[in-house]
Amino acid sequence: MSEGVLIDTVVSIETPEHIVFQHRVAGPARRAMAHLVDLVLCYGAVFVVGVLIAIAALGASSIGAAIDDALKLGVGLLLVLLFAAQWVWFAAWESLRGDTPGKRAFGLRVVTTTGRPIGFTQAALRNLLRAADLLPSAYLAGVVAMAISPRFQRIGDLVAGTLVVADARVARSQQRFALWPPPYPHELAALPTEVVLDADERSAIELFLRRVGALGVAREQELASMIVESFARRHGFQGPILDPVRTLALLYDRAANTGRVDAPPSSRTGLAA
């Protein structure tokens, strides 16, 4: 695979069309949050039923019915619900639609290791084995298994052959790199009409620009100033380089988004293959 895929939270799956696509495997933190949401939802539901039973029992006693029997029936029902919350909730949701309400809230989905939706058997197995993941407490065994497994699989995932992946369902327009603010007239004047960056240069600059704002201003300027001189000279940038980051962004924008000039492939074809 090409570079950028070496990140270990990505798993590649080959389709019958011989296209390899990648799932972003969900990490323990996001899964823990989704799990918390599920716990609140299903035990919250049990709690609500419990309150209703208590109210019904009180109501029954006020009309003189056999409160004892009614209350015992209610407690019996509550015990069954507690059982369902522990053993049925997750397996039922996942076998019906591949996620639970908590997972859905965090954009997580369970798929098989071959990237297909899971069926009943997998949903049952991975949630039965939850009892092993829980040990000795607070999912310690599960976290250890996730740390050892290359694809963040807890014990239940290993047994069922499943993965939890994160869907990137973000609007495309918000995701693409956009030059902001838009180029000023003096910047446009300084820019050459076409900038041809090869693919490696383009992806390197893009990776850098996506992290601008998270690195600290001084560090950003320092990094950009290392390469901006040679880039600007090579591509005929006609102006003073006041802000190295901005200049890189302008060059990138011109190369990636403006016009329709064909770019050469990687300059390091041998390495990238």
Return the residues of window 146-165 that contact other proteins according to CB under 8 A: 155, 158-161, 165
Secondary structure (DSSP) of 96-134: HHSS-HHHHHTTEEEEETTSPBP-HHHHHHHHHTHHHHT
**Touching other proteins, residues 161-190 (CB under 8 A):** 161, 165, 167-170, 172, 175-177
Query: Is residue 25 involved in binding other proteins (CB under 8 A)?
Result: no
User: 128: burial class by Cβ within 10 Å (0-12, 13-18, 19+)?
Assistant: middle
Token couple for 201: 């240069």
Among 106, 122, 190, 249, binds other proteins (CB under 8 A): 122
Among 35, 103, 154, 202, binds other proteins (CB under 8 A): 202
Query: Is residue 210 involved in binding other proteins (CB under 8 A)?
Result: yes
Smallest gap from residue 177 Cβ to other proteins (A): 6
**Touching other proteins, residues 65-84 (CB under 8 A):** 66, 68-73, 75-80, 82-83
Q: Identify which of residues 93 and 231 has a Cβ nearer to other proteins in the complex.
A: 93
Smallest gap from residue 184 Cβ to other proteins (A): 20
| Exposure class string for 184-211: b at 16+ Cβ within 10 A, else e | eeebeebbeeebebebbbbeebbebbee
Smallest gap from residue 25 Cβ to other proteins (A): 12
Question: Please, what is the Cα angle at 95 between 90 and 101, to 5 degrees?
Answer: 45
Report d(CA 230, CA 246) in Å as an integer.
15
Report d(CA 177, CA 162) in Å as an integer.
34
Task: Point out which residues pair with 21 in neighbouring strands.
Answer: 13
Query: Is residue 6 involved in binding other proteins (CB under 8 A)?
Result: no
Smallest gap from residue 218 Cβ to other proteins (A): 25
Among 42, 125, 164, 190, binds other proteins (CB under 8 A): 125
Query: Is residue 217 involved in binding other proteins (CB under 8 A)?
Result: no
